[in-house]
Structure 1
């Protein structure tokens, strides 16, 4: 039913809660978040990198100048279409910038504290 997600190795797409896409250098990074399972402190997520497609676009036909641009890969657009069917994203709403920054900061705090606890646990095993 979701061939492109299955192609990425996602066996049960019904567990997908949300996703995000960002551009990093010459790649698009897709991060898929799964619903939190019983007994888990944080929900699991997986990250995929897709190279951007390179295109040469004619800028000036008189001098035959071309400009190299990049765009999202076709495979990623197909994956996003499938993800939209699963997550049914709402229309983008105007969000206060300050609210978003604070939300991102709180999320970062959780991730960092979780990672510190994980490293401390690994360190404790070494003693």
Structure 2
């Protein structure tokens, strides 16, 4: 039913909670978040990087000047269409959005604290 998502190795698209898309240099970064399973401290997520397609577009036909532009990868657009179908039913109210932001903030605090502890432990070894 979702051939592009299964092509990415996602066996159960129904477990997808949300996704984010951002651009880094000449790549688009897609991050897919899954529903938190019972007993898990953090929800799982996977990240995919897609190179942007580079095209030369004619700017001035009189002088034959071209401009290099980048656009989203076609495969990524197909994956996003499927992700929109999977996550379409999720619409957050203002209180849900506030709670989601607070949850994300608490998660970030835990991740940062864990990373700081890891770095401090590495420093102790030196």
TM-score calculated relative to the size of structure 1:
0.77
Q: Corresponding residue for 2:10?
A: 10
Q: Are positions 1:63 and 2:49 aligned together?
A: no
C-alpha separation in 1, matches of 2:111 and 2:4: 29
Alpha-carbon distance in structure 1 between the residues aligned to 2:24 and 2:103:
18
May I ask how many residue pairs the two structures share in their alignment? 114
- 1:103, distance to aligned residue in structure 2 (A): 5.8
CA RMSD of aligned residues (A): 2.8
**Are 2:21 and 1:21 aligned?**
yes
Taking structure 2 as the reference length, the TM-score comes to: 0.78
- Runs of at least 4 residues of structure 1 off by over 6 A? none
CA–CA distance in 1 between the matches of 2:104 and 2:31?
18
| Partner Cα separation in structure 1 for residue 44 and residue 82 of structure 2 | 19
The offset of 1:51, in angstroms, is 0.6
